[in-house]
């Protein structure tokens, strides 16, 4: 079953149109940006939430960046595997990814086979956006919010449990 953060934090009712921006210090390809757009889309599909990519990193609701090691928030990244990414509960909007991971963007099976310790970016993004919106971890193994991911695997489809959790909040 899904869980929520203590106090059930969520984005306020009058904030259904949320903006996100990428840290200008790590310029990303359109392909990488489209992976995040797809990941947001999976949650937008089952809620009244809308997500728009804007340029301004200082004014967006959600901020996304790739960082290595200690990046100033007291939760340093740790190189390949271990911690892959973290996101904070509403209304923080901070979504950080470990730049040292071997992120797989295209998601096709061949890219997993050829990359050591490959981590599927879209799978991690869908999970972390769940946290950004207020979901904790789930005990349902197939769910997006289950706290384990298999390297070289892709898990991007919301389960009923994920949908029930997000629809309770929004």
Report the residue from 149, 151, 152, 169 that binds ligand TQI according to the rule CB under 6 A. Answer: 149
Residue 9 near which of Zn ion, ligand TQI, none (CB within 5-8 Å, type-dependent): none
Element holding 87 (H helix, E strand): strand 85-87
* 21 lies in the binding site for ligand TQI (CB under 6 A): no
Show Cβ contacts of residue 96 under 8 Å, excluding neighbours closer than 6 positions: 64, 65, 66, 67, 71, 73, 77, 85, 86, 87
Catalytic site residue from 55, 128, 141, 164 = 128
Per the CB < 8 A criterion, the answer to whether 79 and 100 are in contact is yes
Residue 142 is among the residues annotated as catalytic for this protein = no
Q: Which residue has the tokens 């061949």?
A: 110
Report the residue from 11, 127, 143, 163 that binds ligand TQI according to the rule CB under 6 A. Answer: 127
User: Which of 13-21, 53-61, 108-116, 142-150 is the region at the interface with ligand TQI (rule: CB under 6 A)?
Assistant: 142-150
Q: Just list the catalytic residues.
A: 128
């Amino acid at each position: 079953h899904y869980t929520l953060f203590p106090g059930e934090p969520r984005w306020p009712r009058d904030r259904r149109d949320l903006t996100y921006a990428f840290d200008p210090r790590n310029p990303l390809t359109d392909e990488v940006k489209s992976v995040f757009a797809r990941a947001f889309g999976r949650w937008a599909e089952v809620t009244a939430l809308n997500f728009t990519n804007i340029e301004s990193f200082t004014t967006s609701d959600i901020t996304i960046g790739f960082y290595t090691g200690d990046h100033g928030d007291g939760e340093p990244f740790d190189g390949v595997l271990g911690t892959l990414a973290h996101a904070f509960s509403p209304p923080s909007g901070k979504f950080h990814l470990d730049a040292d991971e071997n992120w797989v963007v295209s998601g096709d099976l061949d890219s997993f086979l050829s990359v050591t310790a490959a981590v599927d970016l879209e799978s991690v993004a869908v999970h972390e956006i769940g946290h950004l919106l207020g979901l904790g971890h789930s005990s349902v193994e197939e769910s997006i919010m289950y706290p384990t991911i298999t390297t070289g695997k892709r898990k991007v489809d919301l389960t009923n449990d994920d949908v029930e959790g997000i629809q309770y909040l929004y």
